[in-house]
Structure 1
Amino acid sequence: MPMRTSSTLLAAFLAASFVSGCNKEKAPAAAATATTPSSTEPSADTVVATFGDGQKITFGELNDRLKDPLANLEKQKYQTRKQGLDGFVVEKLVKAEATKRNLSEEALVKAEVDDKIPQPPEEEIKKLYDEAKERLPPGTTYEQVKPQIVDFLTGSKKQERARDYFAELKKNANVQITLPEPPRPPVERKQVAAIGPAKGPDSAPITIVEFSDFQCPFCSRAIKTVDEVIKAYPDKVKLVFRQFPLEFHKEAPKAAEASLCASDQGKFWEYHDTLFANQSALQVDKLKEHAKTLGLDTAKFDKCLDSGEKAATVKADQDDGQKVGVNGTPAFFINGILLSGAQPFDEFKSVIDAELAKK
């Protein structure tokens, strides 16, 4: 398999860090590009529009009307700068570590990332080829596509290992981020019903309602962070999962139904983990295979899935999500405070700690 250079891997890692969710516009929800602030911003009493019989609108009135979206833009600019700073730091740390070990940056990344991920078993590679060969150009051989299959099977694991390794470098270097954060806007809370499969104590002071899509790669990425949150606050956080399959993820609605069929047999979270670990296998026949693998009563499961009896529950979750402003996944409501996208642990911690302090 061709080795990915450190610059390519870093670029892929940084690109992934700038997108955090799947949205309804069929494209990743990317943070806005930072722009250089104007040093000649008008004063609040500057007239920016006139009309009718001497009526006018001032710059201050405009800002007041747009205070929420403008605050979001400032937050996006900060997050973009913070993510860019993080990437800048990682690049310098990789270069310094490579020099320290008398390696090229490419050799360092290969040793610490590529070589840490085992080659998939031959039978797994061959199985994927057999499943896909009818959709491949005529005459395409196994050997021709094997490298691409290996990349597909190991790609997400390499990304995860890269994030872990870069985190190790930052920890060892005692990296401190001191980028000034813009003032936080007033907290807006939504009334979100905590209905659905849950884990964590019912008495927890923090309830996180997650709207998610089993076909969304960013939802899969968020699992590790959510698990980290639950581990960090074992007695303080209750997690509730609600369905929000996006219209352009064609297999997501049935996967959502299947997870609820598994929930009827007490295996929601096991099935949840299986679906996110196998996002390329969400077809109905695969959904049934997953149920069998997990030891569910397949007759009951198949009847539940084929009947579509859970479709109404999925639709109700979607409707509730739309009412509180969900337009992409994953979306988390922490005691009603929206945190959109696959955000890092620190973003969850900031909101949770502020909520606990109020308690």
Structure 2
Amino acid sequence: MLMRSTSTLLAGLLAASLFSGCNKEKAPATAGAPTTSASATEPAPDTVVATFGDGQKITFGELNERIKEPLANLEKQKFQTRKQGLDGFVVEKLVKAEAAKRNLTEEQLVKAEVDDKIPQPPEEEIKKLYDEAKERLPPGTTYEQVKPQIVDFLTGSKKQERAREYFAELKKNANVQITLPEPPRPPAERKEVAATGPARGPDNAPITIVEFSDFQCPFCSRAVKTVDEVLKAYPDKVKLVFRQFPLDFHKEAPKAAEASLCAQDQNKFWEYHDALFANQQALKVEDLKAHAKTVGLDTAKFDQCLDSGEKAAVVKADQEAGSKVGVTGTPAFFINGILLSGAQPFDEFKSVIDNELKAKQ
């Protein structure tokens, strides 16, 4: 087997570990951003860009005012593209330096610190997945032929998570400081989002984070650690509210959302929340009932609640509320109404929270 190039290997790991989420769209939402400097190419504000009628005109400044929100979004996309590119550039250099220090190739270093840190899934788990899928495989496909792909499927998200952790370790040890200037956030980005649902943190906190999430989304599971880190870093400053947003293509997510609300009725939402995210391969109704027993719920009450479908209306209301404020994928966080989309790192939360706290002083 040919060894992957370092740039390709790192690009794949970085793409999977940076600012990612489950999205409603079939393809990732990636908007292009201008590559040239606006200040070097834009006309002056009083430049006439259109004339009509009896001497009427529109200036470039008037046009910019008319479309100021989409222009601000383009600036944000350009900043995010640059920041992701910068982060990848930094990681590539750190990996190269660490590999040289340990007398390894870069591929060997990533294999040792990422691939080899993830245990092989049990043979029975691999075989079970093969048995479930073999009717959909081409005729004659053997277990040994597809076993490597099954292993990649079962370990893929864990490898991505380990890569993210390792790259963060390298950056911390190297005392990386990102000083890329961020464009100002326009007022139009702040949305009115009702903070209704299971909550953690003080009610009088100056910062409220409303999270729209999906229990079957792997990126939502990844975000759990980051959210916990945020709450620990700002114990008196942040209140977290969880709202449901099961995506259409996650078939088991709607019932899992209902199940979490049934657990909330017994004051064990967060324990059940953690159990679901820790067991995303086991979200069928029988699994949901088994998790209820594991976290100590009254299973008779839980089963009645889940089987009745009484929480479906609450889930639907959360979905409608999320769609109304522009949620298209999960996880989506509204920090005092400012959207932070995807499983973003702690520093992204910190940037918005610190700015909000500073503004309140």
Distance in 2 between the 1:153 and 1:62 partners?
A: 51
Whether the 8 Å contact between 1:214 and 1:276 is mirrored in structure 2 is: yes
Q: CA deviation at 1:240?
A: 0.7
The 3-state SS of whatever aligns with 2:51 is strand
- The 1-side partners of 2:296 and 2:154 are apart by 25
SS at match of 2:20: strand
Shift in Å, 1:20: 2.8
- Given the superposition, is the C-alpha separation of residues 297 and 6 from structure 1 closer, same or farther in structure 2, using an over 3 Å criterion? farther
**Residue in structure 2 matched with residue 326 of structure 1 by the alignment:** 327
Cα distance, 1:118–1:22 mapped onto 2, change above 3 Å:
closer
Q: Secondary structure at the match of 1:29?
A: coil
Whether the aligned pair in 2 keeps the contact of 1:22 and 1:29 (CA below 8 Å) is no
| Residues 1:127 and 1:250: Cα distance change in structure 2 (over 3 Å) | closer
Aligned length: 359
- 1:139-183 deviation line (CA, Å, top 9, x unaligned): 443333322222222211111111111122222222222323333
Give the superposition deviation at 1:5. 6.0
TM-score by length of 2: 0.89
Offset at residue 9 of structure 1 (A): 3.2
**Where in structure 2 are the equivalents of 1:169-318 lying within 5 Å?**
169-186=170-187, 188-318=189-319
| Residue 26 of structure 2 is aligned to residue 26 of structure 1 | yes
Q: Deviations over 1:55-86 (max 9, x none)?
A: 32221111111111211211111111111011
Q: Which amino acid aligns with 1:317?
A: D
The 8 Å contact of residues 17 and 160 in structure 2, kept in 1 or not, is answered as no
* AA partner of residue 25 (structure 2): E
- The alignment partner of 2:41 has SS state of coil
Letter in 1 for 2:232: K
Contact 2:50 2:58 survives alignment (8 Å): yes
Secondary structure (helix, strand or coil) at the match of 1:28 reads coil
1:9 aligns with: 9
Taking a change above 3 Å as real, the CA distance of residues 138 and 74 of structure 1, as seen in their structure-2 partners, is same
Structure 2 stretches lacking a partner, 5+ long: none
Q: Structure 1 92/151 Cα, relative in aligned 2: closer, same or farther at 3 Å?
A: same
One-letter amino acid matched to 1:14: L
How high is the TM-score relative to the length of structure 1? 0.89
Query: RMSD value over aligned CA atoms?
Result: 2.6
Q: 1:276 to 1:8 in 2, by over 3 A?
A: farther
> What are the superposed Cα offsets for residues 170-217 of structure 1, whole Å, 9 maximum, x if unpaired?
222222223233333347543322211111222322221111122333
**Counterpart residue type for residue 121 of structure 2:** P
Moved more, 200-209 or 71-80: 200-209
Deviates more, 1:2-11 or 1:88-97: 2-11
In 1, distance between residues paired with 2:19 and 2:178?
A: 21
- Alpha-carbon deviation of 1:103? 1.1
Aligned residue identity for 1:36? T
**Letter in structure 2 aligned against 1:231:** K
> Is the Cα contact below 8 Å between 1:20 and 1:29 reproduced in 2?
no
Amino acid at match of 1:25: E
Decide whether the 8 Å contact of 2:113 with 2:166 is kept in 1.
yes
